[in-house]
C-alpha cells in the first residue's frame, strides 16, 4: 500500500510538472505528503510551489545565503526531475557535506545517528520566528524519527568518507574530533555566509579581524557550538520573515490566513500530545 501510494503521488507530481517549462534543472517535492511524519497530517490537496533560477539555487547551496532552499535539500526530498548539470550536482553534494560539518560543531564528542539527523534537520529552523509562533515545536523530531533510513541513505556515504569521524554503523553511533585543531578545520570549510556571520558576532568593534583569525578563536572557545548556532540564526531569521511576507502577497491574504490557521491547529495538537 505504501509503495502504491508513493507511486500514485509520483504520477500526480509529474502531471503537475507537465505544466512547467521543459528546461528545468531540478524539481523536487517535500513534506508530509511525500515522506511520512509523526502526528496528524492533511491529505495532499493543497500544494505550494516555488520557482527560482538555477544560479540562485547553486549559490544558496554553496554559500547558504538564506538557507531556504539549501535547508530543504538537507532533508530527504523526492527528486521528480533533474538534468545533467555538473555544477548543480556538485553544489547539492557540498550542501550535504556542509550540513554534516555544521552539525558536528554543535554536537558533543560522541552521539547517535538520530542526534546527528535531528541537528541537521534543525539547521534551517535556527532562529526561525515561525518555530516560536505557528509551528509544532516537535516539527524537527516529527521529520526525523519516521525517516531515519532516508537520512541514512542521504548521508551514509559522506559519513563513511569523512576522516574526522568514526562511524560505527552497526551501533548507530559516531565519534568526532573535538580538538581545537579539528574544530578549526571544520570551521574553515563552512559556507561563506555562515563564516561571515560568525565573524560579525565575534569581531569586537574596531578590531576588523579577518575571518580566519576569528574562526581560529572560535575553534578554541568552549562555546564554539553556540557561536555557530547564533550564526545560523542570523541567516535564517530574516529569511523566514521575508518568506512569510512573500507568502501573503503570492498566495493571497485568504489562503495565508487559512494556512496559518492549519499551522496553529497543528501546533496545538502537538502541544496536547506532549502534555497528555
Q: How many helices (H) and strands (E) does the chain have?
A: 12, 5
Distance set, CA 139 to CA 132, 182, 231 (Å): 12, 31, 21
Residue % of the chain over a pLDDT of 90: 55
What is the length of the chain?
276
Looking at residue 170, its pLDDT comes to 92
Instruction: Check: CB of residue 236 under 8 Å from CB of residue 128.
Output: yes
Place of cell 542570523: 234
pTM of the model: 0.80
Return the minimum-mean-pLDDT range out of 40-54, 88-102, 116-130, 152-166: 40-54
Q: How confident is the model at residue 192 (pLDDT cuts 50, 70, 90)?
A: very high
Looking at residue 254, its pLDDT comes to 61
**pLDDT digit string (tens) for 58-88?**
999 999 999 989 999 999 998 988 988 999 9
**pLDDT digit string (tens) for 145-190?**
999 999 999 999 999 999 999 999 999 999 999 999 999 999 999 9
Q: CA 93, 99, 105, 111 torsion: positive or negative?
A: negative
**pLDDT digit string (tens) for 91-108?**
999 999 999 999 999 999
Looking at residue 114, its pLDDT comes to 96
Looking at residue 15, its pLDDT comes to 81
Amino acid at each position: 500500500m505504501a509503495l502504491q501510494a508513493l507511486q500514485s503521488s509520483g504520477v500526480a507530481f509529474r502531471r503537475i510538472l507537465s505544466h512547467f517549462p521543459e528546461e528545468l534543472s531540478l524539481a523536487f517535492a517535500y513534506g508530509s505528503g511525500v515522506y511520512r511524519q509523526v502526528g496528524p497530517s492533511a491529505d495532499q490537496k493543497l500544494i505550494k510551489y516555488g520557482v527560482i533560477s538555477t544560479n540562485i539555487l547553486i549559490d544558496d547551496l554553496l554559500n547558504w545565503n538564506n538557507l531556504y532552499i539549501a535547508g530543504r535539500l538537507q532533508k530527504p526530498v523526492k527528486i521528480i526531475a533533474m538534468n545533467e548539470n555538473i555544477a548543480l550536482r556538485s553544489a547539492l553534494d557540498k550542501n550535504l557535506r556542509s550540513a554534516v560539518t555544521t552539525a558536528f560543531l554543535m554536537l558533543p564528542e560522541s552521539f547517535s545517528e538520530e542526534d546527528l539527523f535531528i541537528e541537521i534537520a534543525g539547521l534551517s529552523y535556527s532562529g526561525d520566528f515561525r518555530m516560536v509562533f505557528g509551528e509544532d515545536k516537535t516539527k524537527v523530531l516529527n521529520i526525523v524519527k519516521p525517516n531515519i533510513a532516508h537520512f541514512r541513505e542521504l548521508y551514509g556515504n559522506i559519513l563513511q568518507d569523512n576522516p574526522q569521524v568514526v562511524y560505527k554503523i552497526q551501533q548507530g553511533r559516531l565519534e568526532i574530533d573535538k580538538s581545537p585543531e579539528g574544530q578549526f578545520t571544520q570551521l574553515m570549510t563552512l559556507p561563506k555566509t555562515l563564516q561571515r556571520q560568525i565573524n560579525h558576532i565575534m569581531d569586537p568593534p574596531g578590531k576588523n579581524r579577518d575571518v580566519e583569525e576569528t574562526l581560529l578563536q572560535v575553534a578554541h572557545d568552549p562555546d564554539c557550538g553556540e557561536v555557530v548556532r547564533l550564526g545560523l540564526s542570523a541567516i535564517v531569521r530574516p529569511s523566514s520573515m521575508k518568506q512569510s511576507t512573500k507568502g501573503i502577497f503570492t498566495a493571497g491574504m485568504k489562503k495565508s490566513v487559512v494556512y496559518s490557521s492549519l499551522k496553529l491547529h497543528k501546533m496545538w495538537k502537538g502541544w496536547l500530545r506532549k502534555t497528555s
